[in-house]
Structure 1
Amino acid sequence: MEQRALFGQVAEDAAYLVSPLRLPPNRSPFVQLRLDVLFAAPTLVELGELASRLELEGQTFKVRYLKSGRRQTYEGEREAERRIGARIHGIADMRAPNVTLGLLAREEDWVLGICRSAEPVWLAHKEKPNNYSTGLSTVVARALANIAVPQPEGQRAIDPCCGMGNVLIEALSMGIDIVGRDINPVAVRGARSNLRHFGYDDTDIVGIGDINELDGTYDAAIVDLPYNLCSVLLVEERRRMLDSVRRIAPRAVLVSTEPLERDFAEVGLVVMDHGTVSKGHFVRKVWVVSGFVSGVMSK
């Protein structure tokens, strides 16, 4: 779901995805690096000829065989690295190079490019002053923010049931303009404390609010619907919340432990994509929904 939202495609049978987009590699918790392609050639010999044009005078470098492509023996991988590295004009440094060049063996050719490794900033977000035991993990929260707002520029988002602010923290760390509301004052206090812990000004970001009474509109909403024993929703209440989602945002990512397709139809929400997230026996369903049909908002 996140790949479709960010790139408009998915990597079906490969561990890599080819795209003209140059998104920061740390946007997605499922991306290890971005390879900025410099050269591609049918054979390793021909790639070596192209690599000889690369001038890295005064800079150190190393060549790293990427295991996302065709697998080879350990000796074969090192030999490929040596053959390409020997053709590059620069100073080899295997420990702390200025530039790391990625060597990828695809089914049809060989590729050489600059590696941009992801910095897993979301790992630091696991340690919060406040959290729910059943709250969204940082990885899932980050993915949901990406699905809801794949292009942050000029977009405003809301998490109207923000809980302890897991989604807010991930969204803010990616530059997404987002606010959070929750009907529970305890959750709001916890979310504000968590935001301050990571250096965010919580003054205007988080506040007490009922999703059914919110004013204004947003470009996207991310809603983890209440589900545990203390907050079981009646069908009427659930549909009222979904209708409120449709009212405040034309696009939303919804999370629930219950099937909601019939509820979507009742309130005029159209499913654009869907999936599941599992943690042991605990399964959450995720939908991307739209309140617009053929450019006209559903009534």
Structure 2
Amino acid sequence: MIKQTISSYLYTYAWQTNEQELCRLEMRALFGFDVVSNILLASKKVEPSRSPFMRSRLDVLFEAENIAEIAHFAQNLVLGELTFKVLCLNKSDLGDMKKIQQNERHQVEREIGLCIQAEPDLTNPEVVFGLVWHDNRWYFGYYVEGEAIWFKHQQKPEMYSTALSTRVARAVANIAIPNPAGVRAIDPCCGIGTVLVEALSMNMDIVGRDINPLVVKGSRINIAHFGLQGEVLKGDIAQMTESYDVAIIDLPYNLFTHISVDSQFTIIKSARRIAKRVILVTIETIDSMVNEAGFEIIDRCVVTKGTFKRQVLVCE
């Protein structure tokens, strides 16, 4: 890649209405703040393929109030033998900015492209530059498109009717482990491994565990199906002695299982013992139970699907 100074990063987002709260919770985990709009400017670099909501990242090289300044900057780019393409990303509404019509987008793409001293390639370029009109300024830089890896994980050999969707599971993994380096995680009620698959595909250090031998087997099959490597053991969370930095727990539901309130409380108390930080997913309001176990809920959101609601609680 060409050596240039990156000043900031501009991320574009898309979400379903029922998952906007989850998207913003993930933003807060990854960046330390959130935005209501579908475009976010930050100093932190995150791979767009990590998030199920992130569509692209622009590694900003230059910003200006008008396109002429961008064109002048582009004249000084040195690409050598590399081919390139310029894309205007305003093909839909971004924040308060309405989309730019196709003919106008192509016009600014050509204007900037003609200034770059290299060979253009609109089909298979080696470098893709992005151009965004946002908050009354033009932003120009390297364009990185996100890949919907979570979508590939939807079709598993082993399925479970009450499992989280892959989109929700991937976001929950990011909320639990925003900065994976040096973090040891566990999913002690892992079921068929939906969260494990998403976390392992992002190179997170996570292990699985479940009291049910059938779902343990299913989890192992799903992990192997996607070419991932991860440990899944059979066992009760109440009997665990090893500690972790974070635990992710999709609580068993009274609606679908015979688990009692006491059993749920045992899971939460055990999580308090084995992990410094816990992300709980629940279909019930369990604030008093969480507080009684010694946790403080520091952030939260609700994810809906029809009339079905899940709460995601960040507990420390």
Same fold, TM exceeding 0.5? yes
Determine which of 39, 46, 50 is the counterpart of 1:23.
46
Query: Structure 1 pair 229/107, CA: closer, same or farther in 2 (3 Å)?
Result: closer
Q: Name the structure 1 match of 2:28.
A: 4
- Pick one of 240, 245, 257 that aligns with 1:214: 240
Query: How does the TM-score come out when normalised to structure 1?
Result: 0.92
2:304 aligned partner? 278
- 1:43-54 matched pairs, under 5 angstroms: 43-54=66-77
Whole-angstrom CA distance in 2 between matches of 1:72 and 1:32? 18
1:98 pairs with 122, 126, 131, which one? 126
**Residue type at the aligned position of 1:56:** L
CA contact (8 A) 2:254 2:260 kept: no
8 A Cα contact 2:201 2:228, kept in partner: no
Q: CA RMSD in A?
A: 1.4
Offset of residue 125 of structure 1 = 1.2
1:74: how far off? Answer: 2.1
Residue 293 (structure 1) aligns with: none
Alpha-carbon separation, structure 2, partners of 1:27 and 1:201: 18
**1:3-34 CA distances to partner (integer Å, 9 max, x unpaired)?**
1001111123x322112222222111111111
Tell me by how many angstroms 1:56 deviates. 2.2
Unaligned runs of 5+ in 2: 1-24
Aligned 8 A contact 2:200 2:229 in 1: no
Q: Provide the C-alpha distance between the structure 2 equivalents of 1:120 and 1:160, rounded to a whole number of angstroms.
A: 26
Deviations 1:234-257 (A, max 9, x none): 332222211111111111110010
Give the alignment's TM-score, normalised by structure 2: 0.87
CA contact 1:33–1:115 (8 Å) conserved in 2: yes
Unaligned runs of 5+ in 1: 291-299
State how far apart, in whole Å, the 2-side matches of 1:200 and 1:56 are: 37
Question: 1:216: how far off?
Answer: 1.0
Query: What CA deviation, in whole Å up to 9, does each residue of 1:152-175 have, x standing for no partner?
Result: 111100001000001111111111
Structure 1 residue matching 2:28: 3-state secondary structure = helix
1:88-127 aligned at under 5 Å gives the runs 88-127=116-155
Matches within 5 A, 1:37-76: 37-67=60-90, 68=94, 70=97, 71-76=99-104
Q: Taking structure 1 as reference, are residues 247 and 46 closer, same or farther at Cα in structure 2, changes over 3 Å only?
A: same
Share of identical aligned residues, percent?
45
